[in-house]
Structure 1
């Protein structure tokens, strides 16, 4: 009888370990999945109107900060890997947008990071300028972290800043949709994927007792996802009414 109970407990532990591993894999790659259909749509249409590159700015800054937060306060390695995957994903989106803009550009005028023109911040013509900016930002974070690593206040502030940027992820897209009065390039399916991903992520943070900054960030993201979903539904209905 005792042997049977032991085997059942061992099976339960094995199942839980498998579920935990599966959840970790979803956490690492799940945040990048919603950008796959958007990447494909931009490739197909050669139009970036439905995607704000400021989303890339927000996510790159947030995840670079999160990596340095991890150096000061080790949390789950899963969340560190998630940041690396998201940085690679955002560079892929920026590279595609730069390629599309380059092929559609009528004027030969180029805007470069070295021009130091704030009017064209994050509107540069070359993908290399985005890489250079992120490298410079990471280098600055590295120096500050090296100097202030022993300060608990600095480490916590770094984490709060990282998740604050991430929590504001959807704001550029929300504002662009309002400005254009359109959600072209977006679909209900895409936004539902975002919402499901953020809900899963928030539940993961709570269950794994991640630093409080993480689940606060997730909760704000879910609210913003709901606002964008409402925009997709309203503007989509308005577009269909015009066609009718």
Structure 2
């Protein structure tokens, strides 16, 4: 009897370990997966108009800051790996966008980081300029973090800034929908998938006792998702709601 109970407990423990491993893997790579079809579409169409490189800017800054937050306050390794994967994903998207825009460019005029022209900030012609900017930003963060690492206030503020950038990722879409009084190109199904992903992410943060910044960020993202969902329902109430 005791042997049977022991085997049952072992099976439960093994199942829980597998479930935990699956959830961690989903956290690491799940955020990057939506960009795979977008990458393939840009490759196929040689057109970058449907993708804003500003998304890359926000996510690069957020995840670089999150890595330095981890140095000051070590949380789950899963969330650190998630940041590394997202940074690599954003670099891949930027590299493709630069290559496509270079091919399609009519004018030979190129805009470079070295020109220090704010009108063309994050609109540079060469991928190397984006790398250089991120390298400079990383060095700056490293120096400041090294000087203030012993300050708990600084570390917590760093984490809050990192997650604030990430939490506000959906805000431009929300404001654009409100301004246009339209959610053309969006569907209930798509927004529900966004919401489900953010709910999963926030639940993971809570269950793993992640720093408060993470679940606050997740909660803010869920609220923005719900607001966008209401916009889709409101602006399409007189038409057939797209389901896919």
Q: TM bucket by the smaller chain?
A: 0.7 to 0.9
Deviations 1:76-121 (A, max 9, x none): 0000000000000011111111122222222221111111011111
Residue 170 to residue 121, structure 1, CA distance change in 2 (3 Å): same
In 2, the alpha carbon distance for the partners of 1:179 and 1:46 equals 29
Q: Give distance in 2, aligned partners of 1:25 and 1:8.
A: 26
Partner of 2:134: 134
Which consecutive unaligned segments of at least 5 residues does structure 2 have?
none
The structure-2 alpha-carbon separation of the partners of 1:16 and 1:221, relative to structure 1 and needing over 3 Å to count, comes to same
Q: Equivalents in 2 of 1:141, 1:113: separation in Å?
A: 19
Q: Which residue of 1 is the match for residue 63 of structure 2?
A: 63
Cα RMSD, aligned residues only:
2.5
- Which residue of 2 is the match for residue 45 of structure 1? 45
- CA, structure 1 residues 130+180, in 2 after alignment: closer, same or farther (shift >3 Å)? farther
Partner of 2:16: 16
Distance 1:185 1:102 in 2: 27
- Report the equivalent of 2:111: 111
Q: TM-score, normalised by structure 1?
A: 0.88
Q: Following the alignment from structure 2 to structure 1, what is the Cα–Cα distance between the partners of residues 94 and 4? A: 56
Aligned residues of 1:41 and 1:185 also touching (Cα < 8 A): no
Q: Which piece of structure 1 moves more, 203-212 or 97-106? A: 97-106
Which residue of 1 is the match for residue 161 of structure 2? Answer: 161
The structure-2 alpha-carbon separation of the partners of 1:103 and 1:234, relative to structure 1 and needing over 3 Å to count, comes to farther
Residues 1:231 and 1:55: Cα distance change in structure 2 (over 3 Å): farther
**Distance apart, 1:194 and its partner CA:** 3.1
CA shift for structure 1 position 223? 2.7
Query: How far apart in 1 are the matches of 2:119 and 2:67?
Result: 29
Q: Residue 63 of structure 2 aligns to a residue in which SS?
A: helix
Aligned pairs, number: 240
TM-score, normalised relative to structure 2: 0.88
Aligned to 1:221: 221
The whole-number CA distance in structure 2 between the counterparts of 1:20 and 1:27 is 11
Structure 1: any 5+ residue segments left out of the alignment?
A: none
Bigger relative CO (Cα 8 Å, ≥ 6 apart): 1
Contact 1:28 1:82 in 2 (8 A): yes
Structure 1: how far apart are the matches of 2:103 and 2:130?
18
CA 1:54/1:80 → structure 2, altered by over 3 Å: closer, same or farther? Answer: same
| SS of residue in 2 equivalent to 1:169 | helix
Is 1:81 aligned with 2:93? no
Q: 1:13/1:36 Cα in 2 relative to 1: closer, same or farther (>3 Å)?
A: same
2:169 aligned counterpart, secondary structure: coil
Question: Which stretch shows the higher mean deviation, 68-77 or 180-189?
Answer: 180-189
